Structure 1
Amino acid sequence: MPVHAMDENSRLHQVQAMLESGALQRSGVLLNALTAAEIAHLLESLPLTEREILWGLVGDQDGEVLVHLSDEVSADLIKKMDTAELLAAADGLDLDDLADLIQTLPATLTTQLLDSLDSQRRKRLESVLSYPEDTAGGLMDVDTVTVRPEVSLDSVLRFLRTLGERVPENTDALIVVNREDHYLGMLPLSRLVAGKTSDIVAEVMRLDFKPINVNLSDNEVASRFEHHDLVSAPVVDDDGKLVGRITVDDVVDVIREEGEHQFMGQAGLSEDEDMFAPVMISARRRALWLGVNLVTAFLASWVIGNFQGTIEQIVALAVLMPIVAGMGGVAGTQTMTLAIRGIALGQLSSANMRWLVIKEFGVGMVNSLIWAVIIAIIAGIWFHDINIAWLIGVAMTINLLSAAVGGAVIPLLLDRFGIDPALAGGVFLTTVTDIIGFLAFLGLATHFLL
């Protein structure tokens, strides 16, 4: 079976078998049949020793491969490259890819790489690097095809023929600008080929295509592409002057990275963390998060310790406590995940937060009543005690309602204070649900059963 037709798992097994048997030449042939993105995926899937061997077999695609790797894996491989290899890898990269690569390099290598570029390419690269990475300016490519509004379609077609393969990828429209490079509109290729050659650009161009401001956040850019089904979009500065364009392949990377960030952040991990990083490096990174979690666990334990006498007299409470806390944690996580997604997509803010809180409170009320009754019945049958039954039912209701409110409010509060809710929200929510759950359950037991 051709290697490009294999699924990723089969390809990984074949590469590992080749490396273990010492068939390096066959491994190199296999790599040459893959795209840069596929090679990057293979490298990230291999342990460090095998990864280093395979990296040595990557040929002319090494620059493209570095761009597709996660920051941590890319930085590790760059350390093993000498300056000449790195400069050769960077040669030929598109400016937006080169900008991504250069931001992972040490300062000394960055200077050498910039010095190796011709003045025009360096100036264009520095213009991209002058914008924050998470903005439209950081995403854009300065390679654009522009036309004037007064020229004929015949002239545009002849211009495109002269460009040939130098036309940038994902070019679905040409950007119309005036002599001062101020954005005027878009000329879709469909209108270009369908129009009369004698028509002028101003007669057939689109005037309703809104450009993207260079300072717009990458998440807002992704939202614009999603809502309008864009393939590419022009980027302008505050004066309306064209500075570049963004293409859909860059936006796909933004969406993927945001999804990975939210998923990994719930465990206190970085989306760029290398799965096969050295043990001590991974342990050091996770130690801080475990320490924070330990502090919150001590808070919950302190609450329980205040009711030690109650637990000693009614042992059933110790058996049922994890149920109350666990149900609250799950319910809160469901709401918090929804809220974090809303913040990331720009759908949730202080303007509509109260409506989400009201809705989630209603959901919590319905679920708490259902599960409170079920758990109360189970606890009553289990311990043959009606007091234990209604007690856990009431505590469950209180905790599920507080979890619903906390799951909606905590992410927005963290975001307002500049704290990433995907990273820190879980710890705060767990603390809230554990403490309220234990306080409600043990407090009610102390008041009514003793």
Structure 2
Amino acid sequence: MDTAQLPTTDEAREQLLDALEHPDTGQLPALIARWHPALIADAVEALPRDMRHTLWDRLDAIDRGQVLIEVGRGVRQQLIDEAAQDELLAALATLEMDELADLDADLPVSVLDAMVRAMDVQRRERYERVKRYPDDTAGGLMDVDAAAVRGDVSLKAVLRYLRQVRKRDGKLPEHMDSLVVVDRQNRYLGMLRLSDLVSHKSTAIVSHLMDAEAPAIQVGTPDTRVARLFEDRDLMSAAVVDDDGHLLGRITIDDVVDVMRAEADGEVMRRAGLGEDTDMFAPVLSNAARRAVWLGVNLINAFVAAWVIGLFEASIDQVVALAVLMPVVASMGGVAGNQTLTLVTRAIALDQIGRGNAMALLFREVASGLLNGAFWAIVVAVVATAWFGNTQLGIVFGCALLINLITGATAGTLVPLLLERLGIDPALAGGVLLTAATDVVGFFSFLGLATLFLL
């Protein structure tokens, strides 16, 4: 299908809905045949729950396997729960080992056992090798079918080996831009690019052409670190090795793109207090229960801020302008804090912060908060004085704003660092704690200073 004619997810969903509601038109088989499974998966996620399995029933085994890989975990769990065991087994049989390793945690035990029993000896051995490692590590991402050649052979021998692989398996490994070079003990030596393989004399020796500087990835490396390495080095593939340098497998760019997308999606969802596997058409009861926790945390924050305001009820009654201005103080502190929080959370994710630079970053952010606070304190003091005709009120307003901007910068730096030290995701809880700090300090500083100097 011409890429210019590819529909958007919304257009695909509408076309699928129309085809599912009018099965006599014969549109559905034509759409499924033309579309890539990834587009079908996107449309499946956007379909109401009762329509998803109807579409699943019309897919073949290959498309079902790819749809399970592409959809979010919440939708995947629904499809697995509602599918017949023989349908699942047929779909799973079409997947690569690293893809199976990504799915097996969501599979019923009976399906998992039947899947392993149905494997031939070689496939079962490869599956067990991948399952030794957690899903969020290089070992969990890797494909064990790494095409490896020795460094002491000629390019002619390498080409003969690749022809044998194609004859044996019917295809070469996916996304193969280079071959892994190893010694006789299967220890990693470097990478041989396919461009070098096909452009040099067939008598050339592999070790003379290989890239010995190409990085190999330790099997226990977190998947986010793997993604960063691919981004920094512009890699298409990389070898995975154990602690002794022995070749275990290969990671390709398609696996890394999935990691990047999952990390980005998870970041957005965690900032809203939602799980990464949230299904937008999940049952209302479970959906409400999932959101209730963070709504409760925010409610506690709101009550704490309201309690602080209540401490100064008499002051607010005497100077009505305080009620008008105090939300501005809290809001400005929250904005300043969120700017710092975003910066620090990103730096933590990229491993850019450690003991050696944490204090320097704190001082820098506090200094920025102080400069911004001083500038905007003068601005709001002038505005408040002109608005309410009260110079003392303007000065109090400006001082409170200065205090809260410094508080926002300080909390925005310290909160994510503390959460990361405690093993809590800063993207999940950082915003809630920051809001609590800037609201409480903002209200307390403004109303407290007003009580001391205006009343």
Which TM-score band (shorter chain)?
over 0.9
Equivalent positions of 1:157-168 (< 5 A) are: 157-164=159-166, 165-168=170-173
Match of 2:149 in 1: 147
Moved more, 156-165 or 83-92: 156-165
Report the residue type matching 2:406 in the other structure. L
- TM-score, normalised to structure 2, is 0.95
1:226 maps to 231
Q: 2:116 is matched with which residue: 114, 120, 125?
A: 114
Q: Compute the RMSD of aligned alpha carbons.
A: 1.7
Q: Secondary structure in 1 aligned to 2:98?
A: helix
String of CA shifts for 1:120-167, please: whole Å, max 9, x gaps. Answer: 211211221121111111111111101112221101112112323521
- Pairing 1:17-416 to 2, within 5 Å after superposition: 17-23=18-24, 25-60=26-61, 61-164=63-166, 165-416=170-421
Q: CA deviation at 1:275?
A: 1.1
Distance in 2 (alpha carbons) for counterparts of 1:248 and 1:337: 27
In structure 1, runs of 5+ residues without a counterpart are none
Q: For residue 221 of structure 2, give the secondary structure of its aligned residue in structure 1.
A: coil
Going from structure 1 to structure 2, the CA distance change for 1:370 and 1:216 (only over 3 Å counts) comes to: same
Which amino acid letter does the alignment assign opposite residue 367 of structure 2?
Answer: G
2:448 maps to which residue?
Answer: 443
Q: Secondary structure at the match of 2:407?
A: helix
- The TM-score with structure 1 as length reference comes to 0.96
Calculate percent identity across the aligned residue pairs: 48
Give the Cα separation in 2 of the matches to 1:7 and 1:258.
23
**Offset, 1:106:** 2.4
**1:193-227: per-residue Cα shift (whole Å, max 9, x none)?**
12221122222222222210001111111111011
Task: Provide, for residues 284-326 of structure 1, a one-character-per-residue CA deviation record: whole Å limited to 9, x for no partner.
Answer: 1011111111122222122222222212222211121111111
Is the CA contact 2:101–2:135 (under 8 Å) kept in the aligned structure 1?
no
What is the number of equivalent residue pairs in this alignment?
Answer: 450
In structure 2, stretches of 5+ residues that fail to align are none
Partner Cα distance (1:392, 1:28) in 2: 67
Query: Given that residues 266 and 276 in structure 2 are in contact (C-alpha distance below 8 angstroms), is that contact kept between their aligned partners in structure 1?
Result: yes
CA distance in 2, matches of 1:290, 1:8: 31
Deviation track 1:367-418 (CA, whole Å, cap 9, x = no partner) reads 2233223322332233222222111111111101110111111111100110
Cα contact 2:89–2:111 (8 A) shared by 1: no
Rate the CA distance shift 1:313–1:77 in 2: closer, same or farther, 3 A: same
Question: Is 1:261–1:271's contact at 8 Å kept on the other side of the alignment?
Answer: yes
Do 1:350 and 1:412's aligned partners in 2 also have CA atoms closer than 8 Å? no
Q: Could you tell which deviates more after superposition, 364-373 or 403-412?
A: 364-373
SS at the partner of 2:26?
helix
Q: Which amino acid aligns with 2:252?
A: T
The superposition leaves residues 331-368 of structure 1 with CA deviations (integer Å, 9 ceiling, x where unpaired) of 11111011111111111223212222222223222322
Corresponding letter in the other structure for 1:388: L
Verify the 8 A CA contact 1:261 1:422 in the aligned structure 2: no
Letter in 1 for 2:280: M
Displacement after TM superposition at 1:180 (Å): 2.4
Separation in structure 1 between the aligned mates of residue 113 and residue 379 of structure 2, nearest angstrom: 67
